[in-house]
Chains A and B, each alone.
Chain A
């Protein structure tokens, strides 16, 4: 690289850019710091002095009480983990299988089927008929009500199809000449070759399942079946938040640091996302770049 003196316009631009980006990044980060620091602060202190960036009066009470009865949280974690694993594996397999067939250029009917699938994004019957159908299918208080709605997603199919159609057809052609069947070509050749796209779409699907609360709100009324996010939602919103936590523990009602427990629970719910964050972020950025190549 040539060494050159930074020109004045570049200097001005950099000054503005660094300031703006730093500000935006801080705004993105501060709410999380607020929650974290609040959850580690003594409730009485918090009530008097309010939030700060660092816990001024350190206290683990909120976590101690939130985790005194870990059964319900662990249960919600279990539901969400199972849902995420099952949904991601199944959804990824089904979407990529569909995408594979839709990009086969020697499949003359591919456009009819593509239209059949893509049309569902243009028009829908709305929430009510779908809700009635789900109820009639026995989805009330059924884990399937949280699994099934996320299995297929048109945009995931489009991205996978675009990626797969970029794989040279000579590879599959030669396998075909060797006598491999269509399904074998998909499993043994296309899936391994689509690795990067599968990781990205898999993460998209996993994130959607991890953050799932909507279908739980519509169909799940038994608290032992709540996924993590819906559990948190109920804890924050329900007036009985205290009572659920109190069950089995001998604490007095008045002693509960209610607000900081909510904060601690939010931290507990966000935890895994933050732990996996570097990995998640890398593949999301890659995936968006893959997806937007076609536009």
Chain B
């Protein structure tokens, strides 16, 4: 709304300065030539690195041969997709991707909102600052470092876990051979790495709330828990909805760096930790099944596109101002 009024202001300003504005395509072209040149790097960049690969997705329907290139390789129809389907991995990796993302979303959102609300209410200024700084720390290290940390906690020889287990007189466990626990490990480290960032985002939303509301509620005798439930949470809802929708839009996209660095190429754990992205990567780089890898990638892109369109259409119906596009 504000944008529209600004545009009309601009047009008015243009008229006031009395510049002759050329209309028509060629007129605009000459008037915009500097702006167009400034856009050129981005246009060329996205053409090469995004739009050409979109066309290259054809390789999913071909039997790829390095020597012949994408266009020279023979067509095989849906063979690559059939292969993916028959490998039994389709359901496995798709379900894993969705469930992991849902778990990350639920746990991370809950934790981040809780911490943000607590940080906004506690009094101690230094406590708040230090706590926030410390919680933000994991966000800055790479997944490689997180992988190193995970390794140092769980490796059999020296790992922290077995130290603790040994201390209590319990049996040593080789976590790297126990597929069942990795879902908890992954959820834990996702929460660990993102809590600082996420809580700052939610804290920013809380800071935007009008303090008069709290004062009024306090005078009316509402206790702190009621204030949080009746003022803070409802006021945060738009932010929460936007972030949850963004996450749902990428529910078919696994965080490759995280899964790959924490789990690695450990075949024992694939059934419980393989997501679409790690499977695509492995098919391409390790087993060299290029055609199938491309088919998986295209399958994922179509799923992502569909879910984005659906979520956006739903938001548009419910509340058009918070639609993503």
Q: B256 near A: Cβ within 8 Å?
A: yes
Residues in B with CB closer than 8 Å to A79 are none
Of B85-93, B150-158, B179-187, B267-275, the one touching chain A: B150-158
Chain A 126-142, CB-CB to B under 8 Å as 1, else 0, gives 11111111001000000
CB distance from A168 to the nearest CB of B (A): 10
Inter-chain contact B239/A50, CB cutoff 8 Å: no
Inter-chain contact B157/A173, CB cutoff 8 Å: no
Residues in A with CB closer than 8 Å to B285 are 218
Inter-chain contact B141/A128, CB cutoff 8 Å: no
CA distance A187 to B70 in the complex (A): 42
A13-B224, A113-B43, A262-B148 given as contacts; is B163 within 8 A of A28 (CB)? no
Of A66-74, A81-89, A194-202, A280-288, the one touching chain B: A280-288
Residues in B with CB closer than 8 Å to A173 are 10, 13, 17
Inter-chain contact B35/A104, CB cutoff 8 Å: yes
CB distance from A103 to the nearest CB of B (A): 10
Q: A211 near B: Cβ within 8 Å?
A: yes
Inter-chain contact B59/A132, CB cutoff 8 Å: yes
Inter-chain contact B301/A126, CB cutoff 8 Å: yes
Inter-chain contact A263/B152, CB cutoff 8 Å: yes
Residues in A with CB closer than 8 Å to B64 are 132
Interface size class of A (residues with CB under 8 A): 35 or more
List A residues 212-244 near B (Cβ within 8 Å). 213-214, 218, 229-230, 232-233, 236-237
Residue of B nearest to A134 (CB): B49
Inter-chain contact B300/A28, CB cutoff 8 Å: no
A47-B158, A101-B38, A129-B59 given as contacts; is B45 within 8 A of A152 (CB)? yes
Q: B160 near A: Cβ within 8 Å?
A: yes
Q: B77 near A: Cβ within 8 Å?
A: no
Q: B280 near A: Cβ within 8 Å?
A: yes
Contact of B137 among A102, A108, A277, A292 (CB under 8 A): A277
Q: List 23 A-B contacts (CB under 8 A).
A: A7-B224, A9-B224, A14-B123, A28-B138, A28-B195, A31-B153, A105-B10, A113-B39, A125-B53, A126-B53, A126-B297, A126-B300, A128-B290, A129-B53, A129-B58, A133-B52, A151-B45, A157-B42, A230-B144, A259-B158, A266-B145, A285-B132, A289-B200
Closest 6 CB pairs of A and B: A126-B297, A129-B56, A50-B163, A125-B53, A211-B142, A128-B294
Given contacts A18-B127, A129-B56, A133-B48, 8 further A-B contacts (CB under 8 A): A18-B122, A28-B137, A97-B42, A98-B39, A98-B42, A123-B301, A132-B59, A270-B141
